[in-house]
Amino acid sequence: MKLFYAPGACSLSPHIVLRELNLPFALEAVDLRSKKTASGADFMAVNPKGYVPALQLGDGEVLTEGAAIIQYLADKHAPGTLAPVAGTLERARLNGHLNFISAELHKAFGPLFNPALTPEARAASLANLDRKLDVVEAALADGRAFLTGSDFTVADAYLFVVLSWAPHLGVDLARWPRLAAFSQRVSTRAAVQAAMVAEGLQKAA
């Protein structure tokens, strides 16, 4: 398998899951502006959507959309571990978390990456993001270590990646102590540290 990624982007989520599952894979960085890969290939030929992640399987099939990729990896290579078995109530709850992270939280961070955002638009975007973070903070109530309880899942990998953007965008997670503690907790996982080192996001210990 080959994962096409951009350092620190949402492609970090499947990267973490690949390492959590101890699967063999290759990495190829993508310049999202030029749409060229590190080897000089046209990324649009790999993923016509033009964004990461894209996971090329051994037979050449390409999967896109991070939430779909991480569920595929969990179901294919470790059923019932990083994601509850399909068709269960627990899986439906996991999918609820994944959908919220993707459609609401990830999307809420999006405008803050625009350097041309006006002060008024930034204030409105931050207010919207605050509401989404409040929801996820509440999901970690009752002493939950992770979104679905005591076990790390693919949804936690995705949430960690999205929250990792906060300090770079001027969002202080101290207002959400459970989320801050969650981020710190997940950051210590071996697979997370290995993925971040591989993407140049932190130095090897």
Residue 204 lies in a domain: no
pTM across the whole model = 0.96
Residue 205 lies in a domain: no
pLDDT band with cut points at 50, 70 and 90 for residue 93? very high
pLDDT, tens digit (0-9, with 9 covering 90-100), for 173-201? 999 999 999 999 999 999 999 999 999 99
pLDDT, tens digit (0-9, with 9 covering 90-100), for 1-14? 999 999 999 999 99
On whether the CB atoms of residues 134 and 76 are closer than 8 A, the answer is no
- Say yes or no: 141 and 73 in one domain: no
Sign of the dihedral through C-alpha 26, 157, 103, 198:
negative
Q: Is the pLDDT of residue 203 over 80?
A: no
- Say yes or no: 62 and 115 in one domain: no
What is the domain-level CATH number for residue 30?
3.40.30.10
- Say yes or no: 47 and 106 in one domain: no
What's the pLDDT at 202? 84
- Say yes or no: 11 and 53 in one domain: yes
What is the domain-level CATH number for residue 158?
1.20.1050.10
Q: Is the pLDDT of residue 129 over 70?
A: yes
pLDDT band with cut points at 50, 70 and 90 for residue 72? very high
Tell me how many domains the chain contains.
Answer: 2
pLDDT, tens digit (0-9, with 9 covering 90-100), for 43-65? 999 999 999 999 999 999 999 99
Q: Is residue 101 packed enough to be buried (19+ CB in 10 Å), middle (13-18) or exposed (0-12)?
A: buried
Residue 129 lies in a domain: yes
- Say yes or no: 55 and 113 in one domain: no
What's the pLDDT at 205? 64
DSSP 8-state assignment for residue 166: G
Mean pLDDT across the chain: 97
Range of the domain at 11: 2-80+191-198
- Say yes or no: 165 and 131 in one domain: yes
Residue 133 lies in a domain: yes
Residue 203 lies in a domain: no
Helix axes 177-187, 119-139, angle to 10 degrees: 80
